[in-house]
């Protein structure tokens, strides 16, 4: 079973609307949790990094939250733009050995 | 800085041939990572180096895969012999201080490999 599960697998939203992506993980103990944005045909780009003691982190219109007790994270996109169309990948780092567990991504399509 | 540089950007080869992927990390970065991405399995870490030394190669799928980092500015990932199931996008990434929990990685554009 994958240690990082993301949902929904894909979604389509109208430009200007908000959306929330979910990441549930079983990695324990964990060091940090990252959200990456990957445009089609390009490498992932880091959006946010949160350690276990942080609850929220923002990067422009992107806001990530973390609940270490329930092992859940979310990425909220505010006032979506066409350029937000991408895959969003959740990555959790195992504390101690620094091994990474990857989600398979949330595919977001923003339509005008 | 030009960012992480990978070559070639695309590679088409026949089963059984040797494939060599190349990566130049961002200058000054001590960590270098090799990833593989497929639709089925998503992103997977294959191996990473710290100061040119391989630290964790547990993600390398089998002996057909090997990676080297002869100096701080160059790394290769070699597949010999290649198989159709190796078809994927291979990313190289670098990081200044991966041990720091707030440190990020910078990815290259990837090499799209197709093994026929």
The pLDDT value given to residue A13: 97
Q: Which of B29, B105, B108, B109 to mutate to test the interface with A (most CBs of A within 10 A)?
A: B105
- Sign of the C-alpha dihedral computed for residues A26, A27, A29 and A35 taken in this order: negative
pLDDT tens across the length of chain A (112 residues): 569 999 999 999 999 999 999 999 999 888 899 999 999 999 999 999 999 889 999 999 999 999 999 999 999 999 999 999 999 999 999 888 778 899 999 999 999 9
- Whether A23 and A48 have beta carbons less than 8 Å apart is answered as no
Encoded tokens for A67: 């609940």
> What pLDDT is attached to residue A1?
58
Strands A106-111 and A10-14, sheet pairing = parallel
Within the 36-75 window of chain B, which residues sit less than 8 Å (CB to CB) from chain A? 41-45, 56, 58
Site from B43, B54, B93, B98 to mutate, A interface, most A CB atoms within 10 angstroms: B43
CA distance B103 to A23: 20
Lookup: tokens for B76 = 């290769």
Tell me which residue in A43, A49, A100 faces B45 most closely, judged by beta carbons.
Answer: A100
Q: Are strands B74-79 and B88-95 parallel, antiparallel or unpaired?
A: unpaired
Residue of chain B minimizing CA distance to A37: B107
Write out pLDDT tens, residues B30-55.
999 999 999 888 999 999 999 999 99
What radius of gyration, in Å, describes the C-alpha atoms of chain B?
13
Residue A9 has which token pair?
Answer: 């697998």
Distance from CA of B42 to the nearest CA of A (A): 5
Q: Is the CB of A43 less than 8 angstroms away from the CB of B99?
A: no
CA distance B96 to B61: 26
Evaluated on CA atoms A93, B31, B93, B81, the torsion sign reads negative
How many Å apart are CA A111 and CA B72, to the nearest integer? 43
Between B56, B102, B106, which is nearest A49 by CB?
B102
Q: How far apart are CA A40 and CA A87, in angstroms?
A: 8
Q: Which of A104, A86, A74, A107 is nearest to A5 (CA)?
A: A104
Inter-chain CB pairs, A–B, below 8 Å: 47
- Put simply, the answer to whether B104 touches A104 (Cβ < 8 Å) is no
Q: How confident is the model at residue B76 (pLDDT cuts 50, 70, 90)?
A: very high
């Amino acid at each position: 079973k994958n240690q990082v599960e993301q949902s929904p697998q894909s979604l389509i939203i109208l430009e200007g609307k908000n959306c929330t992506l979910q990441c549930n993980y079983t990695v324990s103990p964990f060091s940090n949790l990252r959200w990456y944005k990957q445009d089609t045909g390009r490498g992932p780009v880091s959006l946010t990094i949160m350690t276990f003691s942080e609850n929220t982190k923002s990067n422009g219109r992107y806001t990530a939250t973390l609940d270490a007790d329930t092992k859940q994270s979310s990425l909220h996109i505010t006032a979506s733009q066409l350029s937000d169309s991408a895959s969003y990948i959740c990555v959790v780092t195992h504390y101690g050995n620094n091994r990474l567990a990857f989600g398979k991504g949330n595919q977001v399509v923003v339509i005008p | 800085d030009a960012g992480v540089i990978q070559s070639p950007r695309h590679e088409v080869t026949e089963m059984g041939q040797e494939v060599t992927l190349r990566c130049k990390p961002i200058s000054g970065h001590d960590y270098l990572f090799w990833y593989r991405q497929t639709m089925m399995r998503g992103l997977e870490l294959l191996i990473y180096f710290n100061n040119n030394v391989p630290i964790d190669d547990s993600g390398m799928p089998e002996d057909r895969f090997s990676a080297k980092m002869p100096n701080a500015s160059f790394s290769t990932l070699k597949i010999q012999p290649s198989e159709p199931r190796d078809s994927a996008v291979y990313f190289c990434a670098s990081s200044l201080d991966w041990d720091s929990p707030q440190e990020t990685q910078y990815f290259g554009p990837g090499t799209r490999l197709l093994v026929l």
